């Protein structure tokens, strides 16, 4: 499956755009197929979405429910959503979050 922004980049390339004249492309999720496009400059920035952090949050909520506790309203759950761009994309790729 190709992330939506990777599909948008494919469409831009098919339409003849080059890095020098492409529009600004912003993504969310920092998905595996989009990270190389960030590194190459086709995606200008994405927002980190960590499957590890999501899983940890889900387990914390499940444990509360199992122990008879009332979990907080959904709107009270926040995760770190760091921006990813050409400056830090190698660090994110090295984390192997999507392997």
1: pLDDT strictly greater than 50: no
d(CA 45, CA 23): 12
Q: Which fold has domain 4-50+80-94?
A: Rossmann fold (3.40.50)
Domain map (residue ranges) of the chain: 4-50+80-94
Contact of 45 with 38, CB cutoff 8 Å = yes
Three-state helix/strand/coil letters over 34-53? CHHHHHHCCCCEEEECCHHH
pLDDT, tens digit (0-9, with 9 covering 90-100), for 40-82 = 999 999 988 777 778 888 898 899 999 999 887 766 667 777 8
Give the predicted TM-score (pTM) of the model.
0.73
């Amino acid at each position: 499956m190709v992330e939506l922004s990777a599909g948008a980049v494919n469409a831009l390339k098919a339409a003849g755009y080059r890095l020098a004249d492409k529009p600004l492309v912003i993504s969310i999720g920092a998905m595996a197929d989009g990270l190389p496009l960030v590194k190459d400059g086709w995606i200008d920035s994405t927002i980190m979405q960590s499957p590890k952090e999501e899983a940890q949050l889900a387990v914390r909520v499940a444990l509360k429910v199992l122990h008879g506790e009332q979990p907080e309203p959904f709107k009270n759950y926040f995760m770190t959503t760091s921006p990813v761009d050409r400056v830090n994309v190698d660090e994110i790729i090295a984390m192997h979050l999507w392997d």
